[in-house]
Amino acid sequence: MIDFSISEEMTMVVKTLKRFIETELKPYEAEVEEKQFVRPELALELKTKAKALGLFALGMPEESGGGGLSAVDMCLCEEQFGWTKDALVRRAFGAIPAALENCVGEQRERYLYPAVRGDIGVALGMTEPNAGSDAAGILTTAKRDGSDFIINGSKHFISDADLADSFIITAVTDPTKGAKGITAFLIDRGTPGFTIGRIQYMMGLRATNHCELVFENLRVSEAQMLGAEGQGLYQALSTINRVRLGMVGGRCIGMASKLMKMSIDYANERKQFGKSIGEFQMVQAMLADMATEIYAARMMVLNAAWETDQGMDPREKVSMVKYFASEMLGRVADKAVQIFGGMGYCKEMPLEQMYRDARVYRIFDGASDIHRMVIARSLLKNGSHPL
């Protein structure tokens, strides 16, 4: 028998999150969408309230002060996060790069614990103008100078860079070694030679800002290395399964569930030809497809998350989740707009923003094409499906 039950404790956490999102975050959704930022005093208020309820840094390990939730439990939380705006989720519940777990010694006091307490913000900078999907193709270099490194280069699209106090970045320390010649560094805002560039405004996810980072002869000591030299990609990606399952898989399910709920309500209310549009079989087909696809994605997410919790490394399944859940969200968002007709396209309804927000899930954290490539390569190598 497969036990799909959720613990009483987790049921309470999900209920508390649902209530918090409804009462504390929802009232500000329109404001942050319009202003494209979360007011600092609002951000502080939300974080303080979430912390008081034990809802901050839920996915970070308990020994670092976080909630210590399992991958499955974190996916259940992310489903709730999908019912509101990404920027509000980040400000209230934290957006801490899981790669910080790799901090050692004094780095833990300086970066990990303050980030988990919400005292500092940390962003993860890997992508460069010339290297996105090809994360090993970066041009930023870190040249050794005694016990220091001199970093030159740039990053772009870095989420929360406008607010972050510190950054994990990747740089090439040995150009002869490819992916194994990349090292991760912890760097601080305000260090001479490090500039946070312009905000790059996006189609959606408004109020979560993404910026360029510029390094011009930025000097950092070797104590700022996250992990060993040449281990940068491994360090930055070591926690990627959990991130993809939660922040993409779980989040897409939550977003799609909200779109479906709105569509069901509208199909019941909206009347044409003297009937509610939900009585038309073609509208019913769209609702049925939405529900079926959400259910399929949810089972995939929970299964891969459960395997992750058992210490397995279901990376092909995680790629399937990343690919299927994000594409599923795209199809659900498209159907929702169709069911709402002109109102779905109109800025007076939140649907058009949800449609725009949904689009990026097929691009970041590995575009769909990259994940299909990973899945296919594994099939061809292993000759079977990793069920």
Shortest distance in whole angstroms from residue 205 CB to ligand FAD: 5
Is residue 132 a contact point for ligand FAD (CB under 6 A)?
yes
Is residue 280 a contact point for ligand FAD (CB under 6 A)?
no
What is the C-alpha to C-alpha distance for residues 73 and 66, in angstroms, rounded to an integer?
13
Choose the binding region for ligand FAD from 39-47, 118-126, 317-325, 333-341 (rule: CB under 6 A): 118-126
8 A C-beta contact, residue 365 and residue 292: no
Q: What is the largest CA-CA distance in the chain?
A: 80
Among 37, 234, 280, 364, binds ligand FAD (CB under 6 A): 364
Among 206, 210, 298, 317, binds ligand FAD (CB under 6 A): 210
Is residue 240 a contact point for ligand FAD (CB under 6 A)?
no
What is the C-alpha to C-alpha distance for residues 47 and 52, in angstroms, rounded to an integer?
9
Shortest distance in whole angstroms from residue 90 CB to ligand FAD: 11
Is residue 214 a contact point for ligand FAD (CB under 6 A)?
no
Among 6, 14, 202, 287, binds ligand FAD (CB under 6 A): 202
Is residue 209 a contact point for ligand FAD (CB under 6 A)?
no
- Alpha carbon dihedral 162, 163, 168, 169, in 10-degree steps, equals 10
By beta-carbon proximity to ligand FAD, the closer residue of 214 and 363 is: 363
Is residue 158 a contact point for ligand FAD (CB under 6 A)?
yes
Among 67, 114, 125, 278, binds ligand FAD (CB under 6 A): 125
> Which residue has its beta carbon closest to ligand FAD?
132
By beta-carbon proximity to ligand FAD, the closer residue of 203 and 296 is: 203
Instruction: Measure CA of the first residue to CA of the last residue in the chain; give whole Å.
Output: 17
Q: Which long-range contacts (CB under 8 A, 24 or more apart) does 28-35 make?
A: 28/88, 29/84, 29/85, 29/88, 29/350, 30/350, 32/85, 32/87, 32/88, 32/206, 32/207, 33/85, 33/206, 33/207, 33/350, 33/353, 35/207
What count of Cα atoms within 13 Å lies in the side-chain half-sphere of residue 273?
Answer: 4
Is residue 157 a contact point for ligand FAD (CB under 6 A)?
yes
Q: Which residues bind ligand FAD (CB under 6 A)?
A: 124-127, 132-133, 157-159, 202, 205, 210, 360, 363-364, 367, 369-370, 373
